[in-house]
Structure 1
Amino acid sequence: MTAGRRAQPLLLTVLPALGVLLALCSAGQAQAAGYRYWSFWERDGGRWTYATQGPATARPADGAVEGFRFAVSEDSGDASRPRGAADFGTVCAGTDAVRGKKRVALVLDFGTPADAPSGEKPPARRTACAVVPGDATSAEALAAVAKPLRYDTNALLCAIAGYPAKGCGEQVTATAEGKPGSGPSVGLLAGSGVVVALAAGAFWQARRRKNA
């Protein structure tokens, strides 16, 4: 077998390897689905727990502390908690009890710039003490202190205090590294460079043998 003919099987071996490499590069950008939305939390002692029902049906007691956090999350187990300390005495300090009404401390965490929709900037985290009728829901307490609220046709809470201006629970994709749009890792790219260099070197070595 001549050197020129040896080059063909070599390339047939290298090209599938390059195909696998390209597939690995694509895998480096494997997309994990998440959703950009407001999550609803209840304060249990000194910690936040994910609410077991929505704000439209939850009816907090006087002295309750509830939180809302805007973020990109895969599900309730992955959801980001409201940040910062929160307790009823601090949030509702100076708000006297009113007969027939209840006070609900609310923590509104608008999230980080990384969680924000394109072109929007999250407002600063804030707290508010809602004074509402005794049978009011969490949604009514929220409406008392954080208008405008925006809901979709399925009654999903889309915006608090007008944020975000658009969108509602939309799906967001991210790489396995959690960075939207990021490419393969440096290590993977470095590895691909080695494979390509070896393939090129083998090819030119075969050509030199053929011409010798």
Structure 2
Amino acid sequence: MSHSRPTAVRPLRPAALLTLAALVAALFTAVISPAATASAAAYRYWGYFQQANGSWKYSQVGSDQYKPRDGAVDGWRFAVSETGRPPRATPSFQDICGATPAVAGKKRVGVVIDYGRAADAATGTPPAPVAKCAVVDPTASGTEVLAAVASPRVEKQMVCGIDGWPATGCSDTVATVSAAAKAADTPVTIAAAKKADAPADAKASSGTSTSTLVLIGAIVLVAIVVGAVAVRRRSRT
């Protein structure tokens, strides 16, 4: 009776092991990728921007580390996003700070604050966007510039709220972004800064000059009348 020998199991060669490992890795990636994509989330937070050539650029550093120059325009926008949404208006430095006189030893920085849309808010209605001119020390950071024109809520060096919007939370995760939050922005208009009133002393000076002119005019008129009367009396005699 003949017996067949059992087939020997040959060990896998290194090249075969590498191929098998690659296949397992590919399979693992294919399995977990959908889950990773599904769990990817946006955030509800304040984004920090700088204006350049009439458009907004997302800041590459935090506002506590960035020092805007004199004549710059900073932008803040509250939105639901993964990479940040810029303010919906782009007023120029002249629009914002044109009516604010320069001060020796200080810098002027325009600040645009866009509180976002209702779709960006967890609850409530956001305030209307504003633009203000900050007059600060030359070394002031973006956070300090903002604090000169608004009331920021800062936690762990991150601006979490501006002027009480939002009142709580900080860069909260938004697992499901609504269609309204995903929708493209509609540009808004921020009214240009009003011209500053004339200084009080200038107004007083202007008033005094007018009074003086009126007085001189009255004196001249009286002199003309008196002269005419004198001439008439002489002609009679």
**TM-score greater than 0.5 by the shorter chain:** yes
**Which residue of structure 1 lines up, in the alignment, with residue 101 of structure 2?**
96
Q: Which letter maps to 2:62?
A: G
| Distance across 2 between alignment mates of 1:176 and 1:150 | 26
Distance 1:70 1:179, change over 3 A: closer
TM-score, scaled relative to structure 1: 0.64
Determine helix, strand or coil for the equivalent of 1:174.
coil
The size of the alignment, in residue pairs, is 146
TM-score, scaled relative to structure 2: 0.58
Task: Using the TM superposition, give the Cα deviation of residue 32 of structure 1 relative to its aligned residue in structure 2, in angstroms.
Answer: 4.7
**Which residue of structure 1 lines up, in the alignment, with residue 121 of structure 2?**
116
**Which residue of structure 1 lines up, in the alignment, with residue 139 of structure 2?**
135
| Distance across 1 between alignment mates of 2:181 and 2:131 | 30
Q: Which letter maps to 1:151?
A: V
After superposition, where does 1:154-165 map in structure 2 within 5 Å? 154-165=156-167
Cα contact 2:55–2:90 (8 A) shared by 1: no
Alignment deviations for residues 3-27 of structure 1 (CA, whole Å, 9 cap, x no partner): xxxxxxxxxxxxxxxxxxxxxxxx9
Higher relative contact order (CA 8 A, sep 6+): 1
Cα contact 1:31–1:174 (8 A) shared by 2: no
**Which residue of structure 1 lines up, in the alignment, with residue 129 of structure 2?**
125
Task: Using the TM superposition, give the Cα deviation of residue 134 of structure 1 relative to its aligned residue in structure 2, in angstroms.
Answer: 1.0
| Distance across 2 between alignment mates of 1:176 and 1:140 | 34
Determine helix, strand or coil for the equivalent of 1:54.
coil
Distance 1:135 1:116, change over 3 A: same
Please tell me whether residue 72 in structure 1 is matched to residue 80 in structure 2.
yes
Distance 1:110 1:45, change over 3 A: same
Task: Using the TM superposition, give the Cα deviation of residue 95 of structure 1 relative to its aligned residue in structure 2, in angstroms.
Answer: 0.4
Distance 1:57 1:124, change over 3 A: same
Cα contact 1:32–1:175 (8 A) shared by 2: no
Q: CA RMSD in A?
A: 2.1
**Which residue of structure 2 lines up, in the alignment, with residue 38 of structure 1?**
46
Task: Using the TM superposition, give the Cα deviation of residue 139 of structure 1 relative to its aligned residue in structure 2, in angstroms.
Answer: 0.7
Q: Which runs of 5+ in 2 are unaligned?
A: 1-34, 183-237
Determine helix, strand or coil for the equivalent of 1:171.
strand
Residue number among 135, 145, 148 corresponding to 1:144 in the alignment: 148
Q: Which letter maps to 1:127?
A: A
| Distance across 2 between alignment mates of 1:62 and 1:151 | 24
| Distance across 2 between alignment mates of 1:134 and 1:179 | 37
Cα contact 2:120–2:181 (8 A) shared by 1: no
Distance 1:176 1:122, change over 3 A: closer
Larger Rg: 2
Cα contact 1:58–1:138 (8 A) shared by 2: yes
Task: Using the TM superposition, give the Cα deviation of residue 135 of structure 1 relative to its aligned residue in structure 2, in angstroms.
Answer: 0.9
